[in-house]
Structure 1
């Protein structure tokens, strides 16, 4: 064994001999445990801040906004359906206003939730037409 390795081993042993009484002392652990716990608490409080800075909040708020717009549109369609069901005099189907689609419209049309909503609207419209024909 080389002289340098021997010196390093001696220093490691002397360090362990110095640390051993402190690690076995309960007073040290009474200080160290609260410090470790407080460090963990600080780290856990920083995690939501990191998630917030990553842009998740912006995405969630956009989705919530989109969701409320879709709900408003569904409510509007439901009210139109109920008006159509109450007025038997108007047998001519009303054409919905044209929908202007930009780049968001094409992305929205690919969304499975939007596609399901569109399917439900079409089915509802078919039911209304069938109901009008039976009257």
Structure 2
């Protein structure tokens, strides 16, 4: 699995709150979109994983907010896979606006089957050299 992936997203009006800034919960959505795009870049689709009984669920997620983002801002989201082995995948995220770090986060995904039982992640999702 490639360790890092970047993409850009433009902040939409409905993602902002009454103060005109991106609501904090939307950063977790950006993180999820980053993971989906990263997986697609590697040639895999979440729908195919789930069809095959490989379900990736969020076990833990966090975000530290440094600066606000507003409607119309273009954000560069980077996702980096830190660890992928056993039944877990750890990611870190950096969100930049105009080159400034505005948020950073982390998540741990667990791999489960359709019944919610822990299972090993498929070999093609493992990091190189691990």
- Using structure 2 for the length normalisation, give the TM-score: 0.24
Question: Which structure is higher in RCO with an 8 Å CA cutoff and minimum separation 6?
Answer: 2
- Using structure 1 for the length normalisation, give the TM-score: 0.24
